[in-house]
Amino acid sequence: MKKYILFFIVLVPIISCCQITDSLNREVKLQGAINFRDIGGYKTKDGKQVKWGKIYRSAEINRLTTSDLEKLASLKIHYVLDFRGPAEVAAGADKIPNTSIRISLPAGSEEVGDKSKMFKSMSTAIVGDSIMLPFYSKIDAFPKRYKPMFEALLNNSSDSALVYHCTAGKDRTGIATALILYALGVDEQTIMNDYLATNYYRQSDNGRMRKMLMDNYHLKEAVVDDVLGVKEIYLKATFDAIQNKYGSVDKFLQSEMGLNKSNLKKLRQKFLN
């Protein structure tokens, strides 16, 4: 318990400066989903700003209410990108507005959603890092998972928005956000702050999940805390893996995400003020 409390004591000052102060603008409050937020408003290294109301990230959206769907429609959500695997989708299909188009991007998530396998891994782990770091370091599926995301961003009309999500809205979705913000020219610390802010937006839900996992499955406290949360070393593991394989994130974006000079310029013109 002490570790858990200290984690949030250290985390709160970080999040306060980058998320809590503008959460009224950033967070989209829904009855049937959490961690749904706008990634707009961030400054780029050359002094521009990511446009508000164009790109959203979220946790699962299979429990949206009628009013939630009306809210998404009012946000002009055109594309809904779902990173979940078959087992996750079978457990709860997306609910989206009639005017939205869902794009399934399950690459790399084929085995995600097998709760018995996950609980077994968690029961034998000493710390959750041994589960999370390999997940973040495995980037082979990234071209199939994230290239269509950038294509959707480039193809989406200027008066529409886009949302992408996984189940918790923290790992696959967190990596997606980091890649988008990097491509738009946002600095690495801001990218990391947005990633870590998931611990704030998921705090209540994680508290409930934490109690359930420890009470019902007798899992180790340290393992549960690591798996439910996000940590700087996780996202760093992804960027390190990209760097090691491609030489740089820029080369990865160009060769695997289709962001040549022309498309990168188009992306920035479209989503920056």
Summarised one tens digit per residue, pLDDT across range 63-99 is 999 999 999 999 999 999 999 999 999 999 999 999 9
* Alpha carbons 45 and 19: distance in angstroms, whole number: 19
The position carrying tokens 């400054």 is 43
What sign has the CA pseudo-torsion 166, 169, 170, 176?
positive
DSSP string, 147-191: HHHHHHHHHS-TT-EEEEE-SSSSSHHHHHHHHHHHHHTB-HHHH
- Could you tell me the pTM of the whole model? 0.92
For helices 221-228 and 2-18, the axis angle rounded to 10 degrees is 20
Strand 55-58 relative to strand 37-38: parallel, antiparallel, unpaired? antiparallel
pLDDT at position 20:
66
E-assigned strand segments in 31-96: 37-38, 55-58, 77-82
Summarised one tens digit per residue, pLDDT across range 95-130 is 999 999 999 999 999 989 888 788 888 999 988 999
Using alpha carbons, select from 220, 157, 154, 193 the residue that is nearest to residue 19.
193
Q: Where are the domains of the chain?
A: 2-271
Residue 247 tokens read as: 């030489």
CATH homologous superfamily for 2-271? Answer: Protein tyrosine phosphatase superfamily (3.90.190.10)
